């Protein structure tokens, strides 16, 4: 059909402009394009599909965007997608949504086999042939950075599915074979990508908005997909300021920068922080991932001038075991990390979130305990104990056999055991993580927990380990626990472990937390005195 129309254009020059306009409109209608994804939570938003739509907007100005969550009924989501009338549907794929996405794709393709299904994202950028063999309803897969490959693919589809699509970064089916083309070309000058945040931003109200001021990472951590690309590229400061100004004007709830190391360039870091400070709307919060050992005194002092709550910092320590850090290729000056965290915490206005990863090669249970205590003693506002995920394409996944890493073959590819850390020990660490989430992360127990973790017990790890064991012995980990019950559970634990001479002080601290949390002015009878009952 398209080739016939082109012949008319060639042989009827006087009508060419009119016919081209009609053709353009008909193609856009025929190529009703939808980009969609399943976010992990309703509050999240997806940056990737906005980038693709923006980059392709000069050639394909009508690209629909729809976002759902993994908690939605898949049948309902499939119905919503189908009712858009889209003929070309692109899915943004991650470890948390890939299985649900494949179910959606299968259902949609069975209902309408003529649909063109395109997958992209980190979860489908590796082991592509295997993925397409297992999922015959997938037509195209885009690997790596998607802007250029996706645009080239849409142009190919618009031109009429003729010759074999040898598009870098695009894998496809062609005459019964799976064609896995080489990696695509990245956008070298990032400002070539139009802003993903223009026009009305009303749909982002009360959402976490993801943004990046750079791509790449100066480090080469082998558990991270950033290690698969080399070099750093930056959006210009003018572009970053324009984008952030729009987001601030829209009063979005939080801007979460996905830069792998936001503070890798000192002058640039200060310039962006200065802009954020000068345009602070009193509401929007900025979440930044940083390397604490890269901070200098001037930057830390500037952080101290920001409004309370304007900026929060996430610092990935991951482990304090030097052997483990060497294996995973993570360069870090731990003494400088401690120094920077202490200095920033002393400013009193920056929320600090520190991360650990359990299950890294070379780290035993006792080593994990040391790493936990090292980071806990830095006194972050939040300490997250995560578990190693052997992501497709990562260096650790490639070396899993050599390093003896046993992991799940299905998403999220979480570690099961290592030569240094058995499965039972990982389960114990998971129980400790749950106690951390309840009794540290919620900040409901900020009076009693420091007493128990740092005075009653020899170290914080031993406190959470003992508490986790007590929970499991009582079967509490198998049943949901209400807020009031969390206090009673901790009280019963205290009764079993706290020496008599310290009991009254601990009881008073727990009562203070309870009163602050409940606001009722009255504690329950079991907490009213120091009787061990």
What pLDDT, on the 0 to 100 scale, is given for residue 21? 37
pLDDT at 14 over 90: no
Q: Write the secondary structure of 22-40 as one string of H (helix), E (strand) and C (coil).
A: HHHHHHHHHCCEEEEEEEC
Please tell me the predicted confidence (pLDDT) of residue 205.
86
Buried b (16+ CB within 10 A) or exposed e, 343-369: bbbeeeebbbbbbbbbbbbbbbbebbb
The domains found in the chain, sorted by start residue, are 31-180 (3.40.50.2300), 197-421 (3.80.30.20), 442-533 (no CATH)
- pLDDT number for residue 322: 96
Q: Give the model confidence (pLDDT) of 315-366 as tens digits.
A: 999 999 999 999 999 989 999 999 999 999 999 999 999 999 999 999 999 9
Name every residue whose Cβ is closer than 8 Å to that of residue 248 and which is 6 or more positions away in sequence: 279, 280, 281, 284
* Percentage, residues of the chain above pLDDT 70: 93
| Confidence at residue 30, expressed as pLDDT on a 0 to 100 scale | 52
Tokens of 10: 């060639």
159 pLDDT more than 60: yes
* Res. 519: pLDDT tops 90: no
* Beta pairing partners, 318: 356
468-494 average pLDDT score: 95
- Give the range among 146-150, 223-227, 466-470, 471-475 with minimum mean pLDDT: 223-227
Query: How many residues comprise the chain?
Result: 533
Indicate if the pLDDT at residue 2 is higher than 80.
no
**Predicted confidence band of residue 206 (pLDDT cuts 50, 70, 90):** confident
Burial 89-103 (b: 16+ CB within 10 A, else e): bbbbbbbbbbebbbe
Closest among 236, 114, 134, 241 to 178, alpha carbons compared: 134
Mean pLDDT (whole number) for 287-303: 97
- Of 442, 448, 424, the residue nearest 510 (C-alpha): 448
Does the structure show a pLDDT above 60 at 9? Answer: no
Q: What is the CB neighbour count within 10 angstroms for residue 407?
A: 20
Report the distance separating Cα 1 and Cα 5, nearest Å: 7
Cα–chain center distance at 476: 30
Q: What is the C-alpha to C-alpha distance for residues 67 and 507, in angstroms, rounded to an integer?
A: 48
Out of 6-20, 168-182, 379-393, least confident range: 6-20
Q: In the predicted model, what is the mean pLDDT of the chain?
A: 91
Mean of pLDDT values over 421-450: 97
- Highest mean pLDDT: which of 9-23, 28-42, 496-510? 496-510
Looking at the predicted structure, is the pLDDT value of residue 500 above 90? Answer: yes
32-88 pLDDT, tens digit per residue, is: 999 999 999 999 999 999 999 999 999 999 999 999 999 999 999 999 999 999 999
Q: Is 473 helix (H, G, I), strand (E, B) or coil?
A: helix
pLDDT over 80 (residue 20): no
Tokens read off for 455: 């005075």
Paired tokens of 221: 């951590």
**C-alpha dihedral sign at 119, 124, 125, 129:** negative
The residues pairing with 254 across neighbouring beta strands, listed in sequence order, are 208, 285
**Of 217, 218, 201, 200, the residue nearest 209 (C-alpha):** 201
Say what the pLDDT of residue 225 is: 87
Which candidate, 208, 203, 285, 212, places its Cα nearest to that of 248?
Answer: 285
Q: Give this prediction's pTM.
A: 0.89
pLDDT of residue 429: 98
Above 60 in pLDDT, residue 416? yes
Q: What is the DSSP track for 81-144?
A: HHHTT-SEEEEE--TTTHHHHHHHHHHHHHH-TT-EEEEESGGGSSSHHHHHHH-TT--EEE-S
pLDDT at 28 exceeding the cut of 60: no
Q: How confident is the model at residue 161 (pLDDT cuts 50, 70, 90)?
A: low
pLDDT higher than threshold 90 for residue 26:
no
- Whether the per-residue pLDDT at 22 is higher than 60: the answer is no
pLDDT tier, 15 (very low <50, low <70, confident <90, very high otherwise): very low
φ/ψ bin of 175: left (φ > 0), alpha (ψ from -120 to 50), beta (otherwise): left
Structure confidence at residue 24 as a pLDDT band (50, 70, 90): very low
pLDDT at 533: 41
Our separate counts of H helices and E strands in the chain read: 20, 17
More confident residue, 304 or 14: 304
CA dist., res. 177 & res. 180, Å (int): 10
pLDDT in tens, 183-196: 877 888 999 999 99
- The number of angstroms, rounded, from the C-alpha of 113 to the middle of its chain's C-alpha atoms is 33
């Amino acid at each position: 059909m398209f080739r016939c129309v082109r012949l008319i254009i060639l042989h009827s020059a006087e009508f060419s402009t009119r016919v081209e306009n009609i053709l353009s409109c008909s193609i856009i209608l025929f190529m009703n394009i939808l980009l969609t994804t399943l976010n992990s939570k309703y509050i999240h938003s997806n940056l990737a599909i906005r980038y693709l739509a923006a980059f392709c907007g000069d050639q394909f100005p009508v690209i629909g965007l729809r976002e759902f969550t993994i908690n939605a009924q898949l049948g309902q989501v499939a119905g919503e997608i189908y009712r858009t009338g889209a003929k070309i549907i692109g899915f943004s794929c991650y470890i948390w949504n890939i299985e649900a996405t494949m179910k959606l794709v299968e259902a949609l393709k069975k209902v309408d086999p003529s649909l063109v299904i395109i997958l992209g994202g980190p979860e489908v950028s590796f082991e592509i042939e295997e993925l397409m063999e297992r999922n015959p309803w997938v037509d195209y897969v885009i690997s790596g950075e998607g802007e250029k490959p996706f645009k080239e693919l849409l142009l190919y589809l618009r031109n009429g599915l003729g010759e074999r699509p040898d598009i870098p970064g695009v894998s496809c089916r062609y005459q019964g074979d799976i064609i896995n083309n080489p990696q695509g070309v990245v956008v070298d000058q990032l400002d070539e990508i139009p802003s993903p945040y223009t026009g009305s931003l009303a749909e982002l109200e009360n959402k976490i908005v993801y943004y990046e001021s750079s791509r790449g990472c100066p480090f080469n951590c082998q558990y991270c997909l950033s290690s698969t690309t080399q070099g750093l590229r930056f959006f210009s400061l003018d572009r970053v300021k324009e984008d952030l100004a729009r987001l601030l004007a829209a009063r979005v709830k939080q801007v979460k920068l996905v830069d792998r190391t936001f503070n890798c360039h000192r002058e640039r870091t200060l310039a962006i922080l200065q802009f954020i400070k000068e345009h602070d709307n009193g509401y929007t919060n900025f979440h930044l991932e940083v390397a604490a050992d890269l901070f200098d005194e001037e930057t830390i002092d500037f952080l101290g001038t920001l409004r309370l709550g304007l900026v929060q910092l996430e610092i990935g320590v991951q482990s304090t075991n030097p052997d483990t850090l060497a294996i995973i290729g993570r360069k870090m000056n731990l003494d400088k990390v401690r120094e920077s965290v202490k200095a920033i915490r002393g400013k009193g206005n920056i929320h600090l979130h520190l991360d650990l990863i359990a299950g890294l090669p070379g780290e035993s249970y006792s080593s994990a305990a040391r790493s936990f205590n090292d980071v806990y003693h830095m006194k972050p506002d939040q300490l997250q104990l995560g578990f190693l995920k052997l992501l497709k394409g990562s260096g650790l996944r490639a070396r899993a056999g050599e390093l003896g890493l046993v992991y799940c073959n299905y998403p999220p590819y979480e570690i099961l055991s290592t030569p240094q850390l058995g499965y039972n020990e990982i389960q114990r660490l998971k129980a400790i993580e749950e106690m951390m989430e309840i009794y540290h992360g919620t900040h409901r127990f900020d009076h009693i927990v420091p007493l128990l973790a740092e005075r009653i017990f020899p170290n914080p790890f031993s406190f959470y380990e003992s508490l986790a064991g007590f929970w499991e012995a009582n079967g509490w980990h198998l049943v949901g626990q209400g807020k009031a019950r969390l206090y009673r559970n901790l009280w019963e634990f205290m009764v079993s472990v706290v020496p008599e001479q310290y009991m009254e002080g601990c009881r008073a601290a727990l009562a203070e937390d309870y009163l602050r949390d409940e606001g009722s002015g009255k504690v329950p009878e079991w907490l009213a005195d120091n009787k061990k009952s």
